[in-house]
A = this chain, B = another copy of it.
Amino acid sequence: MQSKIQTTDQGGRPERQSFIEIARRKQIIECAITAIAELGYAQASLAQIAKRAGVSTGVISYYFAGKDELIDAVIHHVYATGEAIVRPRASNQPTERASLRGFIEGSVDFVRTHPNYMRAVKNISRGGAAPADGLLLDRPIDEPRRSGLQRIFEQGQGNGEFRAFSPRVMAVTLVEAIDAISLQLDTHPDMDLTAYAAELVELFDRATRKTED
- A interface vs B, CB < 8 Å? 1-3, 38-43, 45-47, 50-51, 56-57, 122-131, 135-138, 140, 165-166, 169-170, 172-173, 175-177, 179-180, 183-184, 186-187, 195-196, 199-200, 202-204, 206-207, 211, 213
Contacts and interface: CB of A to CB of B under 8 A. Distances in A.
Contact of A199 (B130, B169, B183): B169
A52 to B, nearest CB: 11
A71 to B, nearest CB: 11
A127 B40 contact: yes
A3 B51 CA distance: 11
Given A123-B126, A172-B180, A203-B207, 5 more contacts: A41-B128, A42-B129, A138-B186, A173-B203, A206-B207
Residue in A130, A175, A180 with the greatest tally of chain B CB atoms within 10 Å: A180
